[in-house]
Amino acid sequence: MSTLAPNLTRGTKKNKGKYLFLQILKVAILILADAAIGWFLSQLISNGFYPFSIAIFIIAVAVNIILLVKKLFPLRWAVTGLVLMGLFTIYPILFTVWVSFTNYGEGHLVTKQQAMDQILARKYLPEEGAAYEYTAFKSADGDFALWLINPDGDGFLAKPGEPLSQLQEGEAGVGTINADGIPESIEGYKKLSIFEALADQNLPEIQFGTADEAIQIRKEKPGEAAQLVPKYEYDPDMDVVVDLETGVVYQNLRGDFVSSSGQELKPGFSATIGLTNFKRFFTSPALRGPLLRIVTWNFSFAILSLLLNFALGLFIAVLYNEPGFPLKKLIQTLLIIPYTIPALLTILVWRGMLNPEVGVISETLKALFGWAPRWFSDQWWAKVAILLINLWLSYPYFMLVCSGSLQSISHDYYDAAEVDGASGWQRFWHITMPLLLVAVGPLLISSFVFNFNNFNLIYIFNGGNPPIAGSPTPAGHTDILISYVYNLAYAGQEGGMDYGFAAAITIVIFFIVGTITLLQFRFTGMWEEVSENV
Amino acid sequence: MSNKQKRTQKHASKSLSRKASIGFRLLIALVLIIFAIFPILWVVSASFNPTGSLATQKLIPRNPGLGNYRELMAGEYPFWRWFGNSVYISAISAVGSLAITTVAAYGFSRFRYRGRKTMLKAIFLIQVFPTLLALVATFLMISQIGEVIPALGLGTHAALILIYLGGSMGINIWLMKGYIDTIPRDIDESAMVEGASSWKIFTKLILPLLRPILIVIAIINYIGTYGEFILASLLLKDAQKYTLMVGLQRFAAAQMDQRWGVFAAGALIGGLPIMIIYLILQDQIIGGLTVGAVKG
């Protein structure tokens, strides 16, 4: 094993000083970084982002250990990469798992504590509260103040956001107090007549005094202001919220406080709801129709794409594989062009060319046959279009891969086969294909996985349209699972953002992809290869 | 007929059929090439079509002109801003990713310690999963970070770059480690004997040897990030901050039919540089690509 700092072993005084300085600098930077992370963590926790806080904490501890424990110095090389990987690859995967067991989404975005804070902050005016007679004052800026007189005849000045203060004549700008106990003037304010006060639209909405002792004008009883009292009370033993005004009890039903008559208190909060999202995926009758279509098309699309793209790529590779074939390089260069341009751009171009009214392909077909497929509104033609575009996008990849592999197949096999009198077709099926499949097998599988989640193509070409009629959440005939997930999480019109359900479907996709990958490892010996190479 | 005669006859017919076969195959090549490049020719033609709409386009436009390009430059859409955003985001991501992963890969390649193999295998397994799948979680995480540090939140390039960096770690560490493994360790050891530190060996000896492959991987990364759409479209909401892909997609979604010519001009300016890089470096890029997964 090498040593990290060989210059230390050759320690001249200068080097030693430099080393010490670097060590101190290192520790100082680490302390500063830890302080920053500590602040970041405290902010995250106060916002209620617990899973992310845990992730940050674990990563921070790991980094500290790696940087401080001398034995772990080889890991210091990788520490930046590992942190980035942990944050942006591993944590999102784990967080997806977590979200899939919750109801996180529109209406359930906050924590239970935050939801309760909002609910419990609500006030109402009780029939018999601490009642005052009031007189309204208004400043030049439009700010209001109230002069309140309680049943005992004491006078108070109330301003929004400030505690009530009991004042006598002459204190804090209060002018002469008349026989009714009302000051004639307050400094900076103009006294409003009772009619002016009643006519003012804003006045009844304003809360005077502080949140603990909020005074509001009662619309029902002119001339009276009263103290607001909390509308809801939380009972931690029963985990219920009670409406103090009506007496209705709201039960905690995993994410919402719900009354016996089914009324919900807004906002709901995010809560773990067990396997509900997964049950919905597998058993909801309303979703079954659309989901079954989507899953079927998802598999058909990935398999058909793979077969078509591979077949065309292989066909071209075999056709021009021969050494010394005329114009070979030129043909190959022209044929890989579709692969060299960002797919997003070419998908958009295809969308334009297939435009049913004015696109060149539709136009040409109409001119030739008097008819053109409805590429966007008919589900089957939309599927054909998607397969066609994907063929155009991906055959060059297989062409390149196959021609590379074909060149590496030894000629001895073919010579031997020729001696045995095998036909060209036999040679292809019994020599070329098996050897080729060994070489490109892993690439075929990763291509399948790629197409299984080929979001860009679907989303950009037609957004999964045409829509499936009667689906409870937005879904289209050409949607694949990942684009359906995207609709669930972000489409946001009908179903709203349903992150929990979206995450659950993501987990299902994880399992499909994971199973295929495991099979790949199993049958191609790829894992052994990986294990040898580490 | 003697055997010899038979053979020459066979040869003669063979060379004839070979010629026919080559001709036939060239014919097929022509058909395939038309299929391959027709969309590209169509865009080129559209970009010079003076009327600019999808409906009026012919393959060879009447009165070709630069009107669409002028309209693009006129600045009604922040096209150059988008292009600049894409260029610099991809550049930072590619160079940053390479810098971080090369250092990491060197550590994994040259030092031996317990847990190293497990860790490498774990990295391999993690990078197999498509990062696209954790989309929702990534989005939520960025929005949570943004609540605390707005400069790293939704709508910022910094957040996007971080996600790109994070997503490229696994595969690039593996790729780079593979290349560094091919450099004999004797080189390190002899330098070590002379008292060079590991960092010095890495920067002065190993990096220069890696330069060719580093350039190729940087370009592959660059092209991948440049063409990335979904994360950018999810994160960036302000039109001034769009990448080129997001900007052109939004533009096309809004008014593809009427402004087809302008879109075509934008797509060409955005797509051609990548195509040219690709075609020039064909062999190197293909070598690098087939090691990794399919282009995204």
Segment A68-88 mean pLDDT: 91
State the best of A315, A341, A393, A450 to mutate against chain B, taking most chain B CBs within 10 Å. Answer: A341
A241: in domain: no
Token pair recorded at residue A525? 């010996």
d(CA A353, CA A373): 13
- Looking at residue A205, the DSSP 8-state letter turns out to be G
Tally of domains within chain A: 3
d(CA A211, CA B11): 103
CB within 8 Å of chain A, chain B residues 190-219: 192, 195-198
Dump pLDDT digits (tens) for A248-261.
888 888 788 888 88
d(CA A273, CA A502): 14
Nearest in space to A122 (alpha carbons), one of A231, A215, A210: A231
A1: in domain: no
The per-residue pLDDT for A14 is: 63
Same domain assignment for residues A342 and A212: no
Structural contact between residues A489 and A422, judged by C-beta atoms closer than 8 angstroms: no
A117: in domain: no
> Given a cut of 90, is residue B33 above it in pLDDT?
yes
State the residue range of the domain holding A409: 282-528
pLDDT category, B148, cuts 50, 70, 90? Answer: very high
Nearest CA in chain B to A331: B29
- For residue A530, the chain B residues in CB contact (below 8 A) are 121, 124
Of A6-15, A286-295, B44-53, B265-274, the one with minimum mean pLDDT is A6-15
Nearest in space to A81 (alpha carbons), one of B141, B165, B164: B165
Same domain assignment for residues A318 and A382: yes
Dump pLDDT digits (tens) for B179-206.
888 888 888 888 888 888 888 999 998 9
Same domain assignment for residues A163 and A305: no
d(CA B44, CA B264): 7
Same domain assignment for residues A359 and A453: yes
> Given a cut of 70, is residue B6 above it in pLDDT?
no
- For residue A446, the chain B residues in CB contact (below 8 A) are 293-294
The per-residue pLDDT for B4 is: 58
The per-residue pLDDT for B296 is: 30
Same domain assignment for residues A78 and A222: no
Q: Which homologous superfamily does the CATH classification assign to the domain defined by B76-291?
A: MetI-like (1.10.3720.10)
pLDDT category, A79, cuts 50, 70, 90? Answer: very high
Q: Where exactly are the structural domains of chain B? A: 1-41, 76-291
Same domain assignment for residues A90 and A179: no
Please indicate whether, in this complex, the C-beta atoms of A340 and B274 are within 8 angstroms of each other. yes
**How does A221-259 read in b/e, with b if 16+ C-beta sit within 10 Å?**
eeeebbbbeebbebeeeeeebbbebeeeebebeebbbbb
Dump pLDDT digits (tens) for B211-241.
888 888 898 899 999 999 999 998 998 999 9
CA atoms within 13 A on the CB side of A342: 30
Last residue of a domain, one of A206, A230, A254: A230
Nearest CA in chain A to B18: A325
The per-residue pLDDT for A532 is: 75
Q: B7 touching A, CB under 8 A?
A: no
- Of B272 and A179, the structure prediction assigns the larger pLDDT to B272
Which ranges in A107-250 belong to alpha helices (H)? 112-120, 194-199
Same domain assignment for residues A455 and A510: yes
A442: in domain: yes
pLDDT category, A416, cuts 50, 70, 90? Answer: confident
A113: in domain: no
Segment B244-265 mean pLDDT: 87
- We report the CATH number of the domain holding residue A496 as 1.10.3720.10
Please indicate whether, in this complex, the C-beta atoms of B293 and A446 are within 8 angstroms of each other. yes
Residues pairing with A157 in the sheet: A147, A165
State the best of B59, B116, B133 to mutate against chain A, taking most chain A CBs within 10 Å. Answer: B133
The per-residue pLDDT for B92 is: 96
Nearest to A534 among B120, B140, B197 (CB): B120
Q: B92 touching A, CB under 8 A?
A: no
A184: in domain: yes
- For residue A394, the chain B residues in CB contact (below 8 A) are 294
The per-residue pLDDT for B2 is: 55
Nearest in space to A400 (alpha carbons), one of B62, B283, B225: B283
> Given a cut of 50, is residue A298 above it in pLDDT?
yes
- We report the CATH number of the domain holding residue A28 as 1.20.58
d(CA A450, CA B295): 9
> Given a cut of 60, is residue A19 above it in pLDDT?
yes
Please indicate whether, in this complex, the C-beta atoms of B141 and A91 are within 8 angstroms of each other. yes
Structural contact between residues B173 and B105, judged by C-beta atoms closer than 8 angstroms: yes
Segment A372-397 mean pLDDT: 93
- For residue A397, the chain B residues in CB contact (below 8 A) are 289, 294-295
Nearest CA in chain B to A458: B230
- For residue A447, the chain B residues in CB contact (below 8 A) are 294
> Alpha carbon of A424 to those of A402, A420, B257, B261, B296: distances in Å?
18, 12, 50, 49, 36
d(CA B136, CA A506): 9
- Looking at residue B113, the DSSP 8-state letter turns out to be -
The per-residue pLDDT for B288 is: 61
- Looking at residue A206, the DSSP 8-state letter turns out to be P
Q: Nearest CA to CA, how far is B150 from chain A (Å)?
A: 12
Which among A9-13, A138-142, A175-179 has the top mean pLDDT?
A138-142
- For residue A357, the chain B residues in CB contact (below 8 A) are 55
Residue with tokens 């292989």: A314
- For residue B120, the chain A residues in CB contact (below 8 A) are 534
- As a whole number of Å, the CA-based R_g of chain B is 26
Segment B69-85 mean pLDDT: 88
A312: in domain: yes
> Given a cut of 90, is residue B28 above it in pLDDT?
yes
> Given a cut of 60, is residue A376 above it in pLDDT?
yes
CB within 8 Å of chain A, chain B residues 35-74: 35-37, 39-40, 42-43, 46, 53-55, 57, 59
Same domain assignment for residues A342 and A488: yes
The per-residue pLDDT for A110 is: 81
Same domain assignment for residues A89 and A132: no
**Positive or negative, the Cα torsion across A298, A392, B168, A37?**
negative
Nearest to A346 among B39, B188, B289 (CB): B39
- For residue B53, the chain A residues in CB contact (below 8 A) are 358
d(CA A277, CA A287): 12
Mean pLDDT estimate for chain A? 84
Which ranges in B49-197 belong to alpha helices (H)? 67-73, 79-110, 116-128, 135-148, 157-181, 185-193
Dump pLDDT digits (tens) for A473-498.
888 999 999 998 888 887 655 456 78
Nearest CA in chain A to B107: A77
Same domain assignment for residues A352 and A474: yes
- Of B4 and B163, the structure prediction assigns the larger pLDDT to B163
> Given a cut of 60, is residue B122 above it in pLDDT?
yes
- For residue B57, the chain A residues in CB contact (below 8 A) are 360
- Of B161 and A234, the structure prediction assigns the larger pLDDT to B161
Same domain assignment for residues A222 and A296: no
d(CA B166, CA B123): 12
CA atoms within 13 A on the CB side of B102: 20
A83: in domain: yes
Q: B269 touching A, CB under 8 A?
A: no
